[in-house]
Amino acid sequence: MDEILSMKGITKVYPNGIVANKEVDFSVQKGEIHAIMGENGAGKSTLMKILFGMEQPEEGEIHYKGKKVTLNSPSVAIDYGIGMVHQHFMLVPSLTVAENMVLGIEPKRNNVFFDFDKAVRMVEEVSKTYNLDIDPNAVVLDLAVGKKQKIEILKALLRGAEILILDEPTAVLTPQETKELFEELINLKNKGLTIIFISHKLKEIKQITDRLTILRNGRSMGVYDTKDISEQEISRLMVGRDVILTVNKTDAIPGDTVLKIEDLSFYDKGNKPVVKDLSFRLRKGEILGIAGVEGNGQGELVEMITGLKKASKGKIFINDQEATKLSVKNIRNLKTSHIPEDRMVYGVAAEGTIGENLISDRYDYPVYNTGLIQRVKDLVQKSNELIDDYSIKCDGHTQQVNMLSGGNIQKVVVAREFSSDPELIIADQPTRGIDVGSTEFIRNKLVELRDEGTAILLVSADLNEVMELSDSLMVMYEGEMAAYFEDASKVDEMELGMYMLGLKKMEVKEMGGALGE
């Protein structure tokens, strides 16, 4: 097979001083599915952004079809035939599939007017050529995640892509959708396309790829034929040690109800219900997981419990006290902690120091203030304690948060939220996008807190995570409870997927366990 593309000696340093790639060599052959593996923060996405012209390397060369090329913008990369499907889709929700697909390369009638019919024909043509079925007239807004991903792939193919980069394509998919995607990818490969597949999921890689390149800490750990390397070896090369990402936990010993939700609803601006008549309870010493495809009301539920949004209907009780209309501060005073879904938006002030970020929930406590003046020394001491206890890798409490890696930023959030003696923790995507070490640390900490009697509501798009950590498990679909399992360890992944996709729904009486009935 011919080498279609090679990158040599790529080094990339970001403005905040983080070295994302260091002298990385990488090459792909025509017609293969090549995986780039590595844990979060290993530099996979950066390498691909360089290949797609979104970032410029400090050093290194890129050769494409035997010629040296300079890829200084995505449009140049597209012209060469390199296409990329991002983790977060770049689609205009209010437009149709056809309109989205031709965005930027619109067919024109008389050189002026947008030729919608031709756009539809173009889409039909490309979808037929590659055997990817899609309705060109559907509005993107109404489509499921799997379909949106298909549009992104077709978008790249329509622009003449010969190399297709997929950035963690399965992260947002249910097991059923993943299966479908893999069939499509193999089909594309058979049609001569080259596919670069970024992932850190070992099983998928073994299943679909021909070769793989492993990155660790910004460096390449070598190229391997997928069939010659075991999952264990890959994992050791990725992390540098043997990792067992299973959590050691004993059976839960639930106590009294801490959080009680009664007929809770939330209507959006268009008066559309996003959360619909939800009722459940969470007990002391128990982890209740919420599974579901993102955007099925989980975010709004969390925001209502923590006081960031006000419920449209229904009631929330925390330790028997009604909390439906309380402010964020008052809810925090009820010993509630919150790990927010997006740490950079809610979890930290990125330009603030680590110390400032660690005290935002307690800066006004009487112990930290003498009269009008803050006890700065005590606050610094507390920050240093937390940095030690949660092993936050940094130069000290005065370092800016945005100079840290994703995992360490999350540890700043977790250190603050776990150290306030919480009786209830709302953990929304607690380990999203962070390295294995930090993930292990945070998961074990959650179990530890559960054993000490904290009630934990865990929302996660990572199926492994909810299944591993939860004692009980519920599934949300379109704002409603689609399923409830008293014992999370007895749940089958495929079955869970059915509930997440709305293909199955439990009867109300089957879910009585959620209310303790």
Partner 1 sequence: MNKKILFEAMRTLVAIGVALLLAFIIIFTVSEDPGYALQRFLLGPLSSLRNFGNVLEMAIPLVFTGLAISVMFTAKQFNLGAEGGFFIGAVGATALALSFELPPIIMPIVAILCGGIAGGLGNAIPALLKSKLDASELVSSLMMNYILFWLGIFIINNYFRDAQAGAMASHRLPEQVKLIRVLEGTRVHFGIFIALLMVILVYLFLYRSRWGYALRMVGLNIRFAEYSGINTKSVVLYSQIIGGIIAGMGGAVELLGMYTRFTWFQLPGYGWDGIIVAIMARNNPLLIPVFAFFLGYLRIGADLMSRVTDVPSEVVAIIQGIMIMLVTAERLLAGWRHRMIVKEKMQNQPIDEGGVQNG
- For partner 1, give the closer residue by CB, 29 or 405: 405
Q: How far is the CB of 338 from partner 1 (least distance, A)?
A: 7
19-29 and 3-13 beta bridge pairing: antiparallel
Q: Which two tokens stand for residue 345?
A: 């938006």
Nearest to 145 by CA among 110, 167, 165, 169: 169
- For partner 1, give the closer residue by CB, 255 or 396: 396
Q: Is there a contact between 482 and 475 (Cβ–Cβ < 8 Å)?
A: yes
Q: How far is the CB of 335 from partner 1 (least distance, A)?
A: 13
Q: What is the signed CA dihedral for 184, 187, 189, 195, rounded to 10 degrees?
A: 0
Nearest to 160 by CA among 112, 197, 122, 107: 122
- For partner 1, give the closer residue by CB, 12 or 276: 12
Q: How far is the CB of 421 from partner 1 (least distance, A)?
A: 15
Q: How far is the CB of 171 from partner 1 (least distance, A)?
A: 15
Q: How far is the CB of 438 from partner 1 (least distance, A)?
A: 8
- For partner 1, give the closer residue by CB, 45 or 472: 45
Q: How far is the CB of 430 from partner 1 (least distance, A)?
A: 15
Q: How far is the CB of 360 from partner 1 (least distance, A)?
A: 4
Alpha-carbon distance of 283 to 60, in angstroms, equals: 56
- For partner 1, give the closer residue by CB, 182 or 346: 346
Q: Which two tokens stand for residue 185?
A: 């990818």
211-216 and 33-37 beta bridge pairing: parallel
What type of residue sits at position 415? A
- For partner 1, give the closer residue by CB, 14 or 113: 14
- For partner 1, give the closer residue by CB, 406 or 513: 406
DSSP-derived letter for residue 398 is T
Q: How far is the CB of 58 from partner 1 (least distance, A)?
A: 5
User: Which residues are CB-neighbours of 251 under 8 A, at least 6 positions away?
Assistant: 471
- For partner 1, give the closer residue by CB, 108 or 329: 329
CA distances from 143 to 103, 149, 156, 174, 371 (A): 18, 10, 19, 15, 57
Q: How far is the CB of 213 from partner 1 (least distance, A)?
A: 14
Q: How far is the CB of 403 from partner 1 (least distance, A)?
A: 9
Alpha-carbon distance of 351 to 465, in angstroms, equals: 30
- For partner 1, give the closer residue by CB, 15 or 192: 15
- For partner 1, give the closer residue by CB, 12 or 34: 12
- For partner 1, give the closer residue by CB, 137 or 327: 327
Q: Is there a contact between 231 and 428 (Cβ–Cβ < 8 Å)?
A: no
Q: Strand 219-225's sheet: what is its strand order?
A: 82-85, 163-167, 194-199, 33-37, 211-216, 219-225
| Helix/strand/coil for 351 | coil
Alpha-carbon distance of 134 to 123, in angstroms, equals: 8
DSSP string, 109-166: ETTTEE-HHHHHHHHHHHHHHTT----TTSBGGGS-HHHHHHHHHHHHHHTT-SEEEE
Interface positions with partner 1 (CB under 8 A): 11, 13-15, 17-22, 38-46, 58, 216-218, 239-241, 306, 308, 327-329, 331-332, 338, 340, 345-353, 356, 359-361, 363-364, 368-369, 372-374, 376, 393, 398-400, 404-407, 435, 437
Q: How far is the CB of 259 from partner 1 (least distance, A)?
A: 18
Q: How many whole angstroms from its chain centre is CA 8? A: 30
